Amino acid sequence: MIHFEWLWAFLVLPLPVLIRWLLPAHQPIEQAALKVPFLEDMAELETPRVLKTDSWSLWVAAVAWVLLVLACARPQWLGEPIEQAVSGRDLMMAVDLSKSMEAPDFMLNKQSVDRLTAIKAIASDFINRRVGDRVGLILFGTQAYLQTPLTFDRKTVRTLLDESVIGLAGENTAIGDAIGLAVKRLKNQPADSHVLILLTDGANTAGEISPLKGAELAAANGLKIYTIGVGADEMIVPSLFGNRKVNPSLDLDEKTLIKIAESTGGYYYRAKNTDELNNIYMRLDELEPVEKDKQYFRPRTELYIYPMALALGLVTFLCGSKLRWSWN
């Protein structure tokens, strides 16, 4: 169907008539001149043609004016209503960028990679599957920063996550501040749609808010937190006496992460390798969505260009005709 976005534009349609009615008619200036009899005869012969020309040019100008007003009203063609997939979840991701995230204890495509690189690869696929969810991104180290507010633009979230680098937010770990920032950004949203996925490989070593205090604030505001502890249990590293096994996750504070998740109604997951990390994200895919009213949108095609082009063509034709008559 055809829809006019600015229907009020039709109010100016009678404007030329009002101007003609309100303004006084143009009075020709009478000047003394010599009278030549045979010129009067020629004028009488030409009068009908001039009057005829003025008559049709007036109609052409009127049609051009109507087309111009029609274009100003922004005619649009509305397509069939299309249902939008809106689940109702507001999902915030908080990713640790501290110095310890550069430990190369993950395997990706049969290559050894650091923890952040593995998180980027798995989390990007997870974000891409969040059709209908609003997704946001928090990056934290010594400080916590909101990198992306809640948005349906999943591509932008993936891009900004991929551009993050270790140490960007400092070398320490402010878990409590990251939770506090998430609470601040989500507290004005519906209470039953808050989800925070927090990924870290260490313990809280910076920030103004303790992790457990942040968890209390989250629980009070209906924010459910899923914590993920990242890092392998053992790793072979070279030394002066040959290769030896070490535990690169000694600093991981699992007890605190478990308490954070339990106090907010979420779960704690341990990701020791890429497969486990991917399985965790597959489980998070099963989060029950919050039911919301279905939303629809109708695709719109702008049509104003067609009456505008016709009006321009008529005006050009009218101006050209006037010039031709004046030359003759």
Please check whether residue 64 lies inside any domain of the structure.
Answer: yes
Residues 159 and 253 in one domain: yes
* pLDDT digits 0-9 by tens, 8-41: 888 888 888 787 777 766 665 555 555 555 545 5
Please check whether residue 26 lies inside any domain of the structure.
Answer: no
Please check whether residue 233 lies inside any domain of the structure.
Answer: yes
Nearest to 218 by CA among 175, 252, 253: 175
Residues 50 and 132 in one domain: no
Residues 6+ apart with CB under 8 A from 162: 120, 124
* pLDDT digits 0-9 by tens, 278-309: 888 887 777 655 445 556 667 778 888 888 88
Residues 86 and 292 sit within 8 Å (Cβ to Cβ) = yes
Please check whether residue 224 lies inside any domain of the structure.
Answer: yes
Nearest to 297 by CA among 80, 88, 152: 80
* CATH label of the domain that carries residue 264: 3.40.50.410
Please check whether residue 108 lies inside any domain of the structure.
Answer: yes
This prediction's pTM: 0.61
Pairing of strands 194-200, 223-230: parallel
- As for how many domains the chain has, the answer is 2
Residues 156 and 274 in one domain: yes
Range of the domain at 68: 2-12+38-79+298-327
Residues 112 and 261 in one domain: yes
Residues 260 and 162 in one domain: yes
Percent of the chain at pLDDT > 70 equals 76
Residues 73 and 89 in one domain: no
Please check whether residue 292 lies inside any domain of the structure.
Answer: no
Residues 65 and 52 in one domain: yes
Average confidence score pLDDT of the chain: 79
* pLDDT digits 0-9 by tens, 119-167: 888 888 888 888 778 889 999 999 999 999 988 888 999 999 999 999 8
Residues 204 and 302 in one domain: no
Burial class (CB in 10 A: 0-12, 13-18, 19+), 177: buried
